[in-house]
Amino acid sequence: MTGRGVTGQQHLLIDADDTLWENNIYFETAFEQFVEFLEHGHLTPEEVRGVLDEIELANSKVHGYGSLNFGRNLQECYARLAQREIRGEDLETVKGFALRILEQPVELMAGVAETLEYLAGRHELTLFTKGHVDEQRMKIDASGVGQWFSHTGIVKEKNREAYEELVRGRGLDKGRVWMIGNSPKSDINPALEAGLHAVFVPHERTWTLERQGLRAAGPGQLVVVERFRDLQGLF
């Protein structure tokens, strides 16, 4: 199914981080700084990343996401792997790698602004993202995209239940709801499981823990596009 020829007004749920603007690249930079500071004697960066992934996976269930929580995870990883005395100032240095993420500019990816303007003139748009509420709102305000969205939803986790609650709470017709994003784990698979349609917009730097195989489930259509601007030819 190509998705071409979608007719009538649709309700488009659109992801934020790494769909509208770059996000994970800043976390990757912080991790590279962390590895350099850690100076582990035998673990490779990939092996250090594996340990951090385990920590993030466990802690996200309790603390959620965002730069502040990433800083906490880096500190825990450092305390577990450091081959020297764990000093308070070193833990603060590690935390600082994550806090610098908050200083990065929020710049829309190529084609996003004109595509959002086009879509907003034809359909109802909802910005649907997960993460720390204050941090996400800060990025939304800095990006200037709010003008094109009629509703914004920020949740702790984007799973099947979150999509079902959003659709039920807004009184939406599932047959006209599409989730658009770069994450198979948070954007595509749970939306399909909830009976919605989905459009996958791949990003080569998607966070490791957000990667999954695409799973066609339920009655919804799954469409894959190359770039965000390709949505203009779909809707």
> Among 98, 101, 96, 187, which Cα is nearest to 139's?
101
Backbone phi, then psi, for 88, in 5-degree steps? -60, -40
Domains along the chain?
A: 11-21+107-233 (3.40.50.1000), 24-103 (1.10.150)
Residues 142-170: tens digit of each pLDDT: 999 999 999 999 999 999 999 999 999 99
* 16 Cβ contact partners less than 8 Å away, ≥ 6 residues apart: 23, 127, 129, 136, 139, 140, 143, 145
Contacts of 210 (CB under 8 A, 6+ apart): 182, 183, 184, 185, 186
Q: Report the C-alpha gap between 137 and 8 in whole angstroms.
A: 31
What angle do helix axes 24-38 and 45-63 make, rounded to 10 degrees? 120
pLDDT at residue number 211? 83
Rg (CA), the chain: 19
Contact present, 15 and 155 (Cβ < 8 Å): no
Q: What angle do CA 31, 145, 70 make, to 5 degrees?
A: 20
Helix axes 88-99, 24-38, angle to 10 degrees: 160
Q: What's the pLDDT at 209?
A: 79
Amino acid 4: pLDDT = 52
In angstroms, rounded to a whole number, what is the distance separating the alpha carbons of residues 57 and 65? 10
- 126 bridge partner residues: 13, 151
**Quick one: pLDDT at residue 62?**
83
CA 214, CA 104: separation in Å to the nearest integer?
Answer: 31
Q: Are 97 and 213 in contact (CB under 8 A)?
A: no
Instruction: Spell out, as residue ranges, where the chain has pLDDT lower than 70.
Output: 1-5
Reported residue count of the chain is 235
Write the pLDDT tens digit of every residue in 94-129: 999 999 999 999 989 999 999 999 999 999 999 999
**109 token code pair:** 């990816």
pTM of this structure: 0.90
Q: Rounded to whole angstroms, how far apart are CA atoms 126 and 53?
A: 30
C-alpha distances out from residue 161 to 154, 164, 185, 222, Å: 14, 5, 13, 19
The residue type of 198 is A
